[in-house]
Structure 1
Amino acid sequence: MKFLVFLAALIGLAFGQFGNYRPTFRQTGREKDSIILKSNFDLGPNGNYQYGYETENGITGQESGFPRNLGGFPPAVAETAQGTFSWTSPEGQYISIGYTADENGYHPVGDALPTPPPIPLAILRSIEYNKAKAAQRGFNNF
């Protein structure tokens, strides 16, 4: 038992003063004390909403959304949203990301996002060949 108390005390010392451990993040003066310049939020009675914000250090964002009836029984409802957010990177580059989100997921778009390399022509031909063979055998959902 004494060993467990000693071990707990040792771990506590390693992480600061017994539970007061806080990770430190590198903050410059710009991020540390930024003031919100603009902020709005509107919620409609039918579930439509929109919000936006702008901070002193150039971070902006806006989004609008609404519930969409997908039909069926019982009726299925999907929240649909679209928006943008932007900031200036530490290197001074303006970054802007637009997105949509619905029952099919989150879909961001922006020049700063990584893009996959193009699919090689041989792989594309292989995919088309496999689709054709599957169709010949009656597998149309390939």
Structure 2
Amino acid sequence: MKFIIAFACLLAVACANEDAGVLRNDAEVNVDSFKYALKLDNSVDVEQQGEQNGDTWVVKGQQAWTSPEGVPVSIQYVADQNGYQVLAANPPLPTSPPIPEAIQRSLEWIAAHPSKE
């Protein structure tokens, strides 16, 4: 369900620009699978496909657009039982800062001394 919400948000942002014309709009929705593609003339290009695998959904997709600064942006992702995972991004996604040493020591201590309950 989260992927539908994410797509709806992206689509709302893309369509908020009233000057954008639709170049491609394909959709196929089945009980256990779906796929769609949307391409607008303002550089927005979205494709996503998903299929039900047992009780879980496996969704793969990509999104591309040009930022207001003129920089091309693209993301490829997969969402499955392991959650949402970015496979590739341009520009690269920022990395998390390192865990402070005191917190890392605390995490190691907690792992070495599990609760007795």
Q: Same fold (TM over 0.5)?
A: yes
Q: Aligned partners of 2:83, 2:113: CA distance in 1, in Å? A: 31
Q: Secondary structure at the match of 2:68?
A: coil
**Counterpart of 1:87?**
65
CA displacement 1:75-101 (0-9 Å, x = unmatched)? xx2222121111111111112123333
- What is the aligned counterpart of 1:56 among 32, 35, 41? 41
Q: What is the root-mean-square deviation of aligned Cα atoms in Å?
A: 2.6
Structure 1: gaps spanning 5 or more residues: 1-30, 70-76
1:112 Cα deviation (Å)?
6.3
Q: Secondary structure at the match of 1:32?
A: coil
Q: Which amino acid aligns with 1:133?
A: H
TM-score (norm 2): 0.66
- Name the larger-Rg structure: 1
**Counterpart of 2:22?**
36
Structure number having the greater strand percentage: 2
Higher mean alpha-carbon deviation, 56-65 vs 116-125, is at 116-125
**Counterpart of 1:125?**
105
What are the within-5 Å matches in structure 2 for residues 1-142 of structure 1? 31-44=17-30, 47-69=32-54, 77-108=55-86, 110=89, 111=91, 113=93, 115-134=95-114
The percentage of counterpart residues that share the same residue type is 33
Aligned length: 99
Higher relative contact order (CA closer than 8 Å, sequence separation 6+): 2
TM-score (norm 1): 0.56
Q: Which amino acid aligns with 1:118?
A: P
Q: Which amino acid aligns with 2:78?
A: T
Q: Aligned partners of 1:126, 1:113: CA distance in 2, in Å? A: 28
Q: Aligned partners of 1:47, 1:126: CA distance in 2, in Å? A: 45
Structure 2: gaps spanning 5 or more residues: 1-16
